[in-house]
Structure 1
Amino acid sequence: MIGAFKKIWDFAGSEQKNIKRSIVLALLHSIFYALQFAAVYVVLKALTSGDTSKRTALYAFGIMILSIGGRIVLNTFSQLQRVHAGYFMVANKRISIGNKLRSVPMGYFNKNNLGQMTAITTTTLTDVENTAPVVLVTVLGGFINSVVFALSVLLFDWRIGIIVFIGMAAFIWTTSLQEKHSRKSAPERQRAQETLVEKVLEAVQGISVIKCFHLGEKAGSAVNSAIEDSCNKNLAIEKQMTPYQIFQQIVLNLFAVIIMIVTAALYVNGTMGLADAMMMFVAAFMVFEQMKSAGISIATLRIAESSIDKANETDNVPVMDEGGRDIVPKTHDIAFENVSFSYGERKILDGVSFNVKQKTTTAIVGPSGSGKTTMCSLIARFWDVNGGKVTIGGEDVRDFTLDSLMKNISMVFQNVYLFSDTVENNIKFGRPNATREQVVEAAKKACCHDFIMQLPNGYETVLEEGGASLSGGERQRLSIARAILKNSPIIILDEATANVDPENEDRLQAAIEALMKDKTIIMIAHRLKTVRKADQILVLDGGHIVQKGTHAELAAQDGIYSRFITQRQQAESWHIAGQKT
């Protein structure tokens, strides 16, 4: 139990001060709680001595009012401190995880289910928020209250006081048994909760595929199975804890009975006065009351500890070296020097070397899986190379801070992600301080101003997550507007016109050419008219650059590029023959 308390304490971080305050308030609360013990004793003493004066009654009443009022005030402020600590310690952890994910290599997201990270940042940390500070303060407060009460009893009669402390020791022993048996169930319950989030997220994200292939029953059964498993694991913990909670209640009630029996015996043999004996009978019902509440809270202690362990696993996620410098490169030349890279055991690039002069365009072509996207991702340092180095302006990209590196690069992906925010804020993503006029200008260049103005609230329209309410071409054009507005010296294009409808392609091509003016361009392209204007074409195959040159040079050679030209010309000249009706 001490280890669990320490884990919660360490997790609290800067919120430890609020937990300290809550514990101190809990201590003061226990003192005011004990005052009712004194109020009852005043009444009993007066009754046994025949004192029925108003003064005594008012004195006892005043003590009781002080006890109740003090407890209300202290409990209110103690609870506020607990809630503040719970909310902000979890908020700080979520921010910490978010900041860390910015410097995590993209390979991490390939190896780990998105649902697992979602579960940690939602249900897992919500469990911590709702249980950790409450359990810590409630349990410690309950024990403090019981100790204060036990000391009060000890002042009246040391013999009864010893029995109270023995009862508390017996309760702690039953609690240790409960903790040992909950060590296995709590992590299993945690895994079931994560699986549930993963399955629900998977079903929601893949709903179009599920409907298309009539997999609703299969997907539904997977979610139902996860729900049932989560339910069973939660019930298992309750079933496992219930016998121990009953045992705890039996132990405390047994010692309460022992206190009454011993008190009666002491009164009968004349070693305890009537008022003291009556007080001990009352104490038998009061002294363990807060400890009972603490015992119920202890049942959730292991859940809080397990949730914290899971959340802290994110601390061990490998990050890219953050010891970089804020570098402003003298030029925007890009160089690969004997670069090798693998996804696990699968080698993607093997000893790749080439140079890109600033303000020139380099097109990368090659069969699927040849490493084109990986090459671009290494420039932006989505991953770190396994061997060799990538440089910008002669500076190794690993020597930049990630922020200073990305100031130099704008990327337009084939698969565009838009955030659940306004159209304007999505375009301003790479340049938050841009004015509305600058946003509109960028949107016009990217041929998306007209369709934006047709949206319900124009640039203030809030998009659905991922931009689901827009077509693929519309999302693509917003992504290009974002890159135009950012105006970085290096542009990486991953087939930027792939999802654009034919009537807008020419206009968008002109916009891209305007974006590319006086920039260092790396483009992954599959269309012949996009490639032929490049200053340099790199042909990738099997992780190697097998051809390099201009369009005219490579077209004259027998190889992958000449076959690429032939295939594209055939594809572009393909048409449906007319049919007689």
Structure 2
Amino acid sequence: LLKTGPARQHAQMKLVEAVLEYIQGMSVVKAYGLDKDSGQAVQKTVDESCEKALGLEHSVAPWMGLRQITVRVFAVALAVCALVLYSGGSLPLTRCLLMLVASFMLYAELESAGNMADNLQMLGASMDKANSIDDTPVMDIDGAELRPEDASVRFEDVSFSYGERIILDHVSLTVPAGSTTAVVGPSGGGKTTLCNLIARFWDVQGGRITVGGHDVREYKLDSLMKNISMVFQSVYLFNDTVENNIKFGRPDATHEQVVAAAKAACCHDFIMALPDGYDTVLGEGGGSLSGGEKQRISIARAMLKDAPIVILDEATASVDPENEAELQAAISSLTKGKTLILIAHRLKTVRNADQILVLNGGHIVQRGTHEELIAQPGLYADFVHVRAKANSWKLEA
């Protein structure tokens, strides 16, 4: 039982993972005609889970049988002893009846306790997993409620890696308060990680990051996030109403303020077309909306929060071309007078930035304005030229 209990629990965990992966990746599986292969993989985990469950039952069956036989033998022996003593006149009738009832009640409880003991090893394996999660250090446990001096952001010799893979290597930069900084570079270069470190989704492994003159590790997480609005490339919406999803930016906002933010983010019209308007309950992850619609609701959420620092991670990547101009104007209104850090690949998004940082291989290889960078050979100029060439492609009949 010491071995089979945890093994069965691990097999159950693998089964849940396999089934969830199969369901969530169903569209990819069907698109590539891998229904049979994926089904076999799930069936394999089902068979393994059954094997471990049967192994657990086989390991405890002898002990369960022995325990039940012992309990029943002693219960019958107690009952027989009570009857024999009563027949001999040495035990009153009332006490004989009491012993007969007790023989069944007492040993029934012992049998129940024994059955529960069989589950202790599985419970122990689950508790070990829960304790390992509970033991994860809380990052802001020693933080304080701080008020930043301004909305500036500064990286001082920052290093960060995922395991052995170095993402940022001794990066230093300054984003002045009220300015716009664009971060560009090839995929996997560390752009999103750089922004996530500002919000302290992870802690730096070297150097420090300051927001308003204070190290982000000195803030309580709530006091830090009051100053930052983020729009992610991958948007997640909760299984709640549209209005409540937008209100995540400011829970105490009025309906009128929610509508104003939705209009500014160009999502009011499609929200009103939903069955219950702003009271429509979205599916888990916002599955009932398109990618562009989810992204616009996320932008409305950030607009409603109205924080002094705004981080946009490819915020217009999934927006329809006909809505992009309006959305760019809305973002300009949102970020007016604020510190803006944006990750983008579209030239029109980054060319008006106060500074552009080109991130590649964990290093800032270029920095400057659009005019300065386009005039010098390097990754940014190559990026602009490739983008211009791509935009000039035409399909000919």
TM-score relative to the length of structure 2: 0.93
The corresponding residue for 1:437 is 256
Which of 18, 34, 38 aligns to 1:199? It is 18
How many percent of aligned residue pairs carry the same amino acid? 58
User: Does 1:226 pair with 2:42?
Assistant: no
- Structure 2: distance between partners of 1:265 and 1:505: 94
Paired residue total: 396
Flag the structure with larger Rg: 1
Which of 258, 282, 286 aligns to 2:100? It is 282
Match of 1:288, SS state, is helix
Which of 281, 288, 292 aligns to 2:111? It is 292
* Contact 1:263 1:280 (8 Å CA) reproduced: no
- Structure 2: distance between partners of 1:400 and 1:372: 23
The corresponding residue for 1:320 is 139
Cα deviation, residue 228, structure 1: 2.6
Which of 551, 562, 580 aligns to 2:370? It is 551
User: Does 1:488 pair with 2:318?
Assistant: no
Which of 341, 344, 348 aligns to 2:163? It is 344
Mapping for residues 554-569 of structure 1, pairs under 5 Å: 554-569=373-388
Match of 1:384, SS state, is coil
Cα deviation, residue 448, structure 1: 0.8
Provide Cα deviations, 1:55-74, integer angstroms capped at 9, x if missing partner: xxxxxxxxxxxxxxxxxxxx
The corresponding residue for 1:95 is none
Counterpart residue identity of residue 441, structure 1: A
- Structure 1: distance between partners of 2:49 and 2:212: 54
Mapping for residues 147-296 of structure 1, pairs under 5 Å: 182-256=1-75, 258-259=77-78, 272=90, 282=100, 285-286=103-104, 288-296=107-115
Stretch of structure 1 that moved more, 379-388 or 304-313: 304-313
Which of 186, 199, 216 aligns to 1:380? It is 199
Match of 2:3, SS state, is helix
- Structure 2: distance between partners of 1:470 and 1:215: 27
- Structure 1: distance between partners of 2:152 and 2:203: 19
Structure-2 change in CA distance of 1:240 and 1:339 (3 Å): same
- Structure 1: distance between partners of 2:108 and 2:267: 68
Which of 304, 307, 318 aligns to 1:499? It is 318
- Structure 2: distance between partners of 1:283 and 1:458: 65
User: Does 1:469 pair with 2:288?
Assistant: yes
**Which structure has the higher relative contact order (CA within 8 Å, separation 6+)?**
2
- Structure 2: distance between partners of 1:364 and 1:508: 20
Cα deviation, residue 503, structure 1: 0.9
Provide Cα deviations, 1:326-376, integer angstroms capped at 9, x if missing partner: 111010111111111111111111111111111110111112222111111
* Contact 1:366 1:541 (8 Å CA) reproduced: yes
Which of 329, 351, 355 aligns to 1:510? It is 329
- Structure 1: distance between partners of 2:259 and 2:329: 17
Structure-2 change in CA distance of 1:355 and 1:254 (3 Å): same
- Structure 2: distance between partners of 1:309 and 1:330: 44
Stretch of structure 1 that moved more, 385-394 or 302-311: 302-311
- Structure 2: distance between partners of 1:344 and 1:467: 32
- Structure 2: distance between partners of 1:280 and 1:385: 71
User: Does 1:450 pair with 2:269?
Assistant: yes
Structure-2 change in CA distance of 1:513 and 1:277 (3 Å): closer
* Contact 2:140 2:221 (8 Å CA) reproduced: no
Structure-2 change in CA distance of 1:275 and 1:522 (3 Å): closer
The corresponding residue for 1:48 is none
Match of 2:2, SS state, is helix
Provide Cα deviations, 1:384-438, integer angstroms capped at 9, x if missing partner: 1111111111100111111111111111112211111111111111211111110
Structure-2 change in CA distance of 1:535 and 1:267 (3 Å): closer
* Contact 2:155 2:171 (8 Å CA) reproduced: yes
Cα deviation, residue 267, structure 1: 8.0
- Structure 1: distance between partners of 2:302 and 2:98: 79
Provide Cα deviations, 1:308-329, integer angstroms capped at 9, x if missing partner: 2332221222442421111110
Cα deviation, residue 225, structure 1: 2.3
Which protein is richer in strand relative to its size? Answer: 2
- Structure 1: distance between partners of 2:120 and 2:315: 52
* Contact 2:160 2:166 (8 Å CA) reproduced: yes
Counterpart residue identity of residue 534, structure 1: A
- Structure 2: distance between partners of 1:435 and 1:276: 73
* Contact 2:83 2:96 (8 Å CA) reproduced: no
Structure-2 change in CA distance of 1:362 and 1:271 (3 Å): same
Which of 370, 395, 406 aligns to 2:214? It is 395
Q: Which runs of 5+ in 1 are unaligned?
A: 1-181
Structure-2 change in CA distance of 1:424 and 1:292 (3 Å): same
Match of 2:48, SS state, is helix
- Structure 2: distance between partners of 1:260 and 1:224: 51
* Contact 1:370 1:543 (8 Å CA) reproduced: yes
Provide Cα deviations, 1:159-198, integer angstroms capped at 9, x if missing partner: xxxxxxxxxxxxxxxxxxxxxxx22222112111111111
Counterpart residue identity of residue 510, structure 1: A
* Contact 2:82 2:91 (8 Å CA) reproduced: no
Counterpart residue identity of residue 548, structure 1: R
User: Does 1:530 pair with 2:334?
Assistant: no
Provide Cα deviations, 1:9-42, integer angstroms capped at 9, x if missing partner: xxxxxxxxxxxxxxxxxxxxxxxxxxxxxxxxxx
Counterpart residue identity of residue 168, structure 2: L
- Structure 2: distance between partners of 1:281 and 1:316: 50
Structure-2 change in CA distance of 1:281 and 1:213 (3 Å): same
Mapping for residues 108-127 of structure 1, pairs under 5 Å: none
Q: Which runs of 5+ in 2 are unaligned?
A: none
* Contact 2:246 2:297 (8 Å CA) reproduced: yes
* Contact 1:340 1:352 (8 Å CA) reproduced: yes
Cα deviation, residue 501, structure 1: 1.3
User: Does 1:357 pair with 2:169?
Assistant: no
- Structure 2: distance between partners of 1:427 and 1:281: 68
